[in-house]
């Protein structure tokens, strides 16, 4: 970093956080110690925080008091992460409907109110207290630090729709904050060549030291860079989030931006859940801020922990949000469980991954059997040179459409690529009518995410 970057990292940013009464940097130093703590120490930490949040939720929220009373439980029955299985899961629809009854009637009260992107339907209101915000910020900086990103670096944020106020003093305040912190934001939602080229020119002008991006947005930008021979910058790390990072997308990003590409996983309800380290072998969990379970539902309605190598639904318990507790929350994602064991990087935090995407990404064949829609990423590797964008869309009636934005405007894929695509769809979804539909664009959702698989509800 240059002189201003070092000053911002070591003096200005820590001083500003202290002035606002936030212990972000102290917590960050603590997290850099606990990431190598023993598993028993971390379980003890989680157990203590869990007992606190359960006790608070029972005493001060209508929802959790009624849930625990109905189950014949008291706060003293939940002593460790293993005891969470005694409590029912909190489905996303229930979490959305119980926002008010999950809100605490006693301090600490909410200081931050956010809305989720609503990628699976109606957005959800999320509230959290000051303590939770500081833990979230410190955890984010730790995860980013594993990728080499430190406060003070020039950062290009190729992100989704931004919540910056369009006018007024708040707009100028946010813009000044971004300028002083060296954060340059650009909406990655438009993926036309003109917008992608503006992003390339911005990177050339900024010469960023790091890029943070939606995974599919970064992949689209990387392909544009490669297609136009547009690279004129030195390597910088790329940190992806919000969407699944596919191996073939990682490869093209490495060619366009540099070899250091990192995946993160999170959601607005709790922020950073897991981050990739330098070993690139799964995502380390943010154990100090949440308990993450990977749960498998059996046909008889019971649940059990996913076994190593098995995919389970991601279930989260927030350990610091006392303003609106979130206990055993099912956000809709699934991930692969891993056996406990040390990581080559030296961190002892457990790992999960890969992230398999949303549970709702399940397609159905002609007999109604479930088919994981994410396997179509294999097909996309074969057609990527002929398509700028692609998406699998299954209608309520079962018909399957492979939507393609061709590489050449008004063009099509060559006959052999079409034949390959038809064969793939018929192989994995027998009995389903399939088609290839060429479109000018595939729209993104409200948060700027473009989903590879869409199942009509």
Given this model, what pLDDT does residue 446 score? 52
**Is the pLDDT at 23 greater than 60, yes or no?**
yes
Query: What is the average per-residue pLDDT within 295-310?
Result: 93
**Is the pLDDT at 173 greater than 90, yes or no?**
no
More confident residue, 187 or 153: 153
**Is the pLDDT at 245 greater than 80, yes or no?**
yes
φ and ψ at residue 311, rounded to 5 degrees: -90, 135
List residues bridging with 259 in a β-sheet. Answer: none
Lowest mean pLDDT among 32-41, 186-195, 444-453: 444-453
Q: Which CATH class is domain 365-455?
A: alpha beta
Task: Give the Cα separation of 401 and 188 in Å (integer).
Answer: 25
Pairing relationship of beta strands 112-115 and 125-128 according to DSSP bridges:
antiparallel
Given this model, what pLDDT does residue 449 score? 62
**Is the pLDDT at 301 greater than 90, yes or no?**
no
More confident residue, 420 or 156: 156
* Mean of all residue pLDDT scores within the chain: 89
Task: Give the Cα separation of 337 and 454 in Å (integer).
Answer: 25
Task: Give the Cα separation of 398 and 363 in Å (integer).
Answer: 9
Given this model, what pLDDT does residue 121 score? 40
Structure confidence at residue 31 as a pLDDT band (50, 70, 90): very high
SS3 372: strand
Query: What is the average per-residue pLDDT within 428-444?
Result: 88
Distances (CA, A) of 175 to 3, 184, 214, 229: 22, 9, 21, 32
Query: pTM of the full predicted structure?
Result: 0.80
Helix (H) or strand (E) holding 454: strand 453-455
Structure confidence at residue 189 as a pLDDT band (50, 70, 90): confident
**Is the pLDDT at 291 greater than 70, yes or no?**
yes
Task: Give the Cα separation of 184 and 212 in Å (integer).
Answer: 10
**Is the pLDDT at 188 greater than 90, yes or no?**
no
Given this model, what pLDDT does residue 61 score? 98
List residues bridging with 125 in a β-sheet. Answer: 115
Of the candidates 23, 25, 28, the one whose C-alpha atom is nearest the C-alpha of residue 11 is 25
Tokens of 167: 């006018």
Task: Give the Cα separation of 177 and 228 in Å (integer).
Answer: 34
């Amino acid at each position: 970093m240059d002189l201003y970057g070092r000053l911002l990292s070591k003096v200005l940013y820590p001083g500003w956080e202290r002035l606002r009464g936030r212990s972000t940097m102290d917590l960050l130093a603590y997290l850099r110690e606990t990431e190598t703590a023993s598993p028993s120490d971390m379980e003890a930490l989680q157990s203590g925080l869990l007992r606190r949040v359960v006790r608070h939720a029972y005493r001060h929220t209508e929802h959790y008091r009624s849930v625990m009373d109905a189950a014949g439980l008291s706060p003293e029955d939940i002593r460790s992460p293993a005891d969470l299985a005694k409590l029912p899961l909190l489905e996303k629809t229930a979490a959305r409907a119980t926002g008010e009854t999950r809100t605490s009637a006693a301090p600490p009260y909410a200081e931050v109110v956010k809305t989720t992107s609503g990628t699976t339907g109606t957005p959800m209101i999320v509230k959290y207290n000051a303590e939770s915000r500081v833990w979230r910020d410190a955890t984010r900086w730790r995860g980013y630090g594993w990728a080499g990103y430190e406060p003070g670096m020039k950062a290009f944020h190729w992100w989704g729709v931004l919540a910056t106020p369009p006018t007024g003093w708040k707009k100028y305040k946010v813009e000044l904050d971004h300028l002083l912190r060296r954060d340059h934001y650009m909406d990655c939602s438009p993926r036309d060549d003109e917008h992608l080229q503006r992003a390339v020119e911005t990177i050339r002008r900024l010469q960023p030291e790091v890029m943070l991006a939606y995974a599919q947005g970064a992949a689209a930008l990387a392909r544009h860079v490669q297609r136009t021979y547009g690279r004129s910058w030195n390597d910088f790390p790329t940190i992806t989030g919000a969407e699944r990072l596919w191996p073939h997308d990682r490869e093209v990003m490495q060619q366009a931006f540099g070899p250091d590409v990192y995946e993160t996983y999170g959601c607005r309800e709790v922020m950073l859940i897991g981050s990739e380290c330098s070993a690139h072998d799964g995502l380390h969990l943010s154990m100090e801020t949440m308990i993450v379970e990977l749960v498998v539902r059996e046909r008889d309605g019971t649940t059990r922990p996913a076994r190593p190598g098995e995919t389970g639904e991601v279930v989260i318990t927030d350990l610091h949000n006392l303003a609106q507790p979130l206990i055993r929350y099912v956000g809709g994602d699934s991930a692969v469980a891993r056996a406990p064991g040390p990581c080559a990087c030296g961190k002892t935090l457990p790992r999960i991954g890969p992230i398999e995407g949303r549970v709702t990404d399940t397609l159905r064949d002609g007999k109604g059997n479930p088919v994981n829609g994410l396997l179509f990423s294999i097909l996309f590797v074969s057609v990527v040179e002929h398509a700028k964008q692609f998406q699998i869309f299954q209608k309520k009636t079962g018909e399957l459409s492979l939507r393609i934005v061709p590489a050449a405007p008004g063009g099509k894929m060559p006959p052999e690529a079409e034949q390959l695509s038809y064969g793939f769809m018929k192989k994995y979804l027998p009995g389903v009518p399939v088609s290839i539909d060429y479109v000018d664009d595939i729209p993104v959702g409200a948060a700027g995410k473009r989903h590879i698989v869409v199942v009509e509800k």
